[in-house]
Amino acid sequence: MGVFPSMACSLAVSMGGVLDPARLAPATWQPEPLHATATDQPLQDEMSPELDRAVARGLAALARTQNADGSWGEMQFGRTVAVTALACIAFMADGNLPGRGAYADNVSKGLDYILANVSENGLIATPSANSPMYGHGFATLFLGEVYGMTGPGDDARALRVHSALSRAVRLIEQCQNDEGGWRYNPVPFDADVSVTICQIMGLRSARNAGLDVPKATIDKAVEYVRACQNPDGGFRYQSMSGPSAWPRSAAGIASLQYAGIYSDRAIDSGLAYLFSNAMPGRADTQAIHYFYGHYYAVQACFLAGGRSWSRWWPAIRRELMQAQRDDGMWADSSAGDDYGTAMAIIVLQMPKRYLPIFQK
């Protein structure tokens, strides 16, 4: 089965009694049973006509904001490979691919933009990019999904995608620091949870598409993520001491899941923290990392399945649909409306189950 699933047994170990999910959880929260993923267990009424209309409006609005060079990103925030990759993933979550679907041209132009920004060493970034490893991780994920959904081919673009994805994966491996994580720049000197999850998802997508990902790389990444969890079940920004916060806690849970760990005390306690601190409808919808956090939170609950998914999904669906503007977009003051809209649409299309990355 490859690198990631085989790690579920070897790495799903106890955290030494530090965390107690039963003590931390709200009264209505229970640890999920083994293998309760929502991948092949859809809820009744997961989708609705209202949701379909909201997604359709969002996709149409996002298509209108694509720049002539294929990128996304507004003047205030700049055009980036990160937002471009996420926008393309939003369209792919609806089944659109280069050469297929109503938004095939948008994905195709976005892909060309990403490929045009792959450097010789494998880094995917624009020349002016700040914190380029964020964008690199999202772009690697996008390339992995494209390659996995379209398959290998002998045309020039397919060969470029495979070459770019291979080099991107090698760069991620080379930039992992001694703790097992990654940081803003492509050098192995530091690490944080928010950048680390981007690289883990990129590696998982590449592995799903058939590329080799060394087990040692993922083993080290899991060690780093575990070292960032606090006794309250949440995750701190870096391995040294610090407070928990729900966006990076969602990223921490998802990191373990995409490394092949689905049943573990760290995940149980992390989900308990998430439900206590970020439940849609009760948490701060103006949080600076709102869309980033919910992008990972919905994936964590989807992969946990069962009660986690059945409680979280209706709540975040309702909250996001209420936040959509009349023009079909979602506002985000920290990274721009293109970013907020792409993230919201990805979240709202989880039940479609089209993207390989969301499969267990």
Quickly list DSSP for 27-55. TT--PPPTT--STT-PPTTSS-HHHHHHH
pLDDT the model gives residue 77: 65
* Single-letter amino acid, residue 263: S
Task: Supply the pTM of this predicted model.
Answer: 0.89
Q: What is the DSSP letter of 350?
A: G
CB 69 within 8 A of CB 113: yes
d(CA 83, CA 129): 12
d(CA 289, CA 287): 5
CB 260 within 8 A of CB 303: no
pLDDT the model gives residue 313: 97
**Full set of structural domains in the chain with CATH:** 117-227 (1.20.1050)
Tens digit of each residue's pLDDT, the chain (360 residues)? 334 543 333 333 222 333 333 333 333 334 445 445 676 667 778 999 999 999 999 999 999 999 999 999 986 667 899 999 999 999 999 999 999 999 999 999 999 999 999 999 999 999 988 899 999 999 999 999 999 999 887 789 999 999 999 999 999 999 999 999 999 999 999 999 999 999 999 999 999 999 999 999 999 999 999 999 999 999 999 999 999 999 999 999 999 999 999 999 999 999 999 999 999 998 676 678 999 999 999 999 999 999 999 999 999 999 999 999 999 999 998 899 999 999 999 999 999 999 999 987
The H or E element that residue 110 is part of is: helix 104-116
d(CA 26, CA 22): 8
